[in-house]
Amino acid sequence: MLDAVSILIKQNTIGYRDVAEIVVRMAPVEIDTVDNRAMPDISIQHLVSLLLIDGDLTFDSSHDAECMQDSTVIALKQKITLVPDPSREPRRAHVTIMIDGGRSFSHQAGPVHGSPENPMTREDVDRKAFGLLAPVLGKANAQQLIDVLWNIDALENIRDLRKHLRSP
């Protein structure tokens, strides 16, 4: 579903200030688990709002509970409605974004990005790994570890990997 929102944002140059309403049609069984939840990384309204405001989601931003109190996020969350649609398969949401002026854009979410049906590119994996590793290992060490792991078969001794697992 977040992939569908991301696609709509990029294809139609939608900014969060443009949004009048967002409707997400999804399998009824999924709605209770994600509808306006108190945990930032579970609430669909919160995650969609962050994606619209920031243009991206990171591990840190999606887990930032303090951000749930931001007035811009709260205002945008109120424009997002989850609608149960019994005809929808789980993980196959349909997203419609209506913008000020009456125009609307829709996208049917396909398989989740990163699933076997929709695999990540190497660049996607690098970006995600770097985002997770850099805060712990530092930027230089994170990039070195990623480079080493892509060429792990070139390591003569697996113990050589240890030096890349330390923070500065």
pTM: 0.79
Residue 115 lies in a domain: no
Instruction: Verify that 30 and 92 share a domain, yes or no.
Output: yes
Residue 117 lies in a domain: no
Instruction: Verify that 51 and 25 share a domain, yes or no.
Output: yes
Task: Scan for tokens 């070195």, then name that residue.
Answer: 144
**CATH number of the CATH domain containing 93:** 3.30.1330.120
Walk along the chain (168 residues) and give the pLDDT tens digit of each residue: 888 999 999 999 999 999 999 999 988 888 878 887 888 888 999 999 999 999 888 888 899 999 999 999 999 999 999 999 888 777 788 999 999 989 999 998 877 788 888 899 999 999 999 999 998 899 999 999 999 999 999 988 988 888 888 777
Query: Number of structural domains, the chain?
Result: 2
Residue 42 lies in a domain: yes
Range of the domain at 71: 2-108
Residue 114 lies in a domain: no
Nearest to 127 by CA among 59, 42, 41: 59
Residue pair 89/26 in contact (Cβ under 8 Å)? The answer is no
Detail the DSSP E strand segments found in 85-167.
94-99, 104-108
Residue 98 lies in a domain: yes
